[in-house]
């Protein structure tokens, strides 16, 4: 495993059935994002003021809705 001469090459790995089996890779913009931690602000080390939580939830909900709409459109096509 640690011997470089015995390891698979990158080209061999890319030809693996892993990349052809379902579920296939999704588009990068369909990947989930987790912006909530960036929007949370702490007043003190143990205190959370809750500002930005609704905004983060709205943003996450919008991203989910957009991704869901794309999936439905692809299946109908």
Please give the chain's pLDDT, 77 residues, in tens. 688 888 889 999 889 888 888 887 778 788 777 766 666 666 555 555 555 556 667 777 778 888 888 887 777 76
Give the up-direction half-sphere exposure of residue 23: CA atoms within 13 A in the CB hemisphere: 3
Neighbours of 9 (CB within 10 A): 9
Name 52's Cβ contacts closer than 8 Å, sequence gap at least 6. Answer: 36, 39, 40, 41
Note the pLDDT of residue 47: 53
Note the pLDDT of residue 44: 53
Domain assignments of the chain as residue spans, ordered by start? 27-76
pTM over 0.75: no
């Amino acid at each position: 495993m640690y011997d470089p001469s015995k390891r698979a090459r990158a080209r061999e790995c890319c030809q693996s059935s892993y990349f052809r089996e379902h579920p296939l890779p999704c588009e990068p913009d369909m990947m989930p994002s987790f912006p909530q931690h960036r929007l949370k602000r702490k007043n003190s080390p143990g205190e959370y003021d809750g500002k930005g939580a609704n905004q983060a939830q709205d943003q996450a909900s919008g991203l989910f809705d957009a991704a869901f709409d794309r999936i439905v459109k692809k299946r109908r096509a």
